[in-house]
């Protein structure tokens, strides 16, 4: 597939919209002439650097968000389960450990990056588990097909300077592209980066790179 367009997906598993965008781009990487690159980053870092606030902190927006995510989950056929309690749950938990764990995978076993990321979303958004706990991270890794030995090694890497720096650098890269939230999708086309924010701009992404949108589940 000559001349593939590089599409980078900056995501954090604490973001349900990131999961929606991730699943659709995973489907489209087999349909469009794109090279999809997963870029695990830290949403908290992006919010802090850009002065952004979690949308759920505004009551009316939180009300809308609840309906919107349910509708999009149905449309995109992704098993996001969301209720009002989830907003408090998210605000009270950090995804930093999970994103460092995912970064460690990216650095050592990149072929597991897609299934591992998906499994974190399932745990957090379908099963409502606390993904900041080490035993849950290990369970996610096993579910994604990694051996207990490798999973343990990854857990140890979470606190290493190499992993911390990589996650920080990726987060800063997203900010340099203009990201202020997640998912942030960057398509490199005609020699320049094009930033798309959110999971509902994928038709537009297709239009910019000269590809056809075939619905949420392309046939």
Taking the C-alpha atoms of residue 141 and residue 119, their distance in angstroms, rounded to an integer, is 8
> CB-side exposure of 102: number of CA atoms within 13 Å?
29
Residue with tokens 């992704």: 78
Q: What is the dihedral of CA 112, 114, 120, 122, to 10 degrees?
A: -130
The whole-angstrom distance between residue 42's C-alpha and the CA centroid of its chain comes to: 9
3-state secondary structure of 185: strand
Cis peptide before 106 (omega within 30 of 0): no
Buried b (16+ CB within 10 A) or exposed e, 143-154: bbebeeebbeeb
Catalytic residue set: 15
């Amino acid at each position: 597939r000559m001349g593939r367009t590089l599409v980078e997906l900056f995501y954090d598993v604490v973001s349900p919209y990131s999961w929606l965008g991730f699943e659709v781009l995973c489907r489209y990487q087999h349909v469009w002439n794109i090279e999809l690159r997963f870029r695990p980053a830290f949403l908290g870092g992006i919010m802090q650097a850009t002065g952004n606030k979690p949308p759920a902190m505004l009551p009316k927006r939180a009300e809308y968000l609840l309906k919107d995510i349910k509708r999009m989950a149905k449309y995109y056929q992704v098993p996001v389960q969301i209720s009002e309690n989830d907003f408090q749950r998210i605000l009270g938990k950090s995804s930093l450990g999970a994103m460092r764990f995912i970064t460690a995978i990216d650095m050592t076993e990149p072929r597991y990056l897609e299934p591992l990321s998906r499994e974190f979303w399932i745990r957090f958004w379908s099963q409502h588990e606390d993904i900041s706990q080490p035993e849950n991270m290990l369970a996610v890794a096993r579910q994604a097909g990694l051996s207990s030995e490798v999973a343990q090694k990854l857990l140890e890497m979470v606190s290493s300077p190499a992993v911390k720096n990589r996650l920080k650098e990726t987060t800063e890269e997203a900010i340099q592209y203009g990201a202020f939230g997640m998912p942030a999708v960057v398509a490199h086309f005609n020699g320049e980066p094009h930033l798309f924010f959110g999971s509902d701009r994928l038709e537009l992404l297709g239009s910019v790179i000269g590809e056809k949108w075939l619905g949420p589940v392309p046939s």
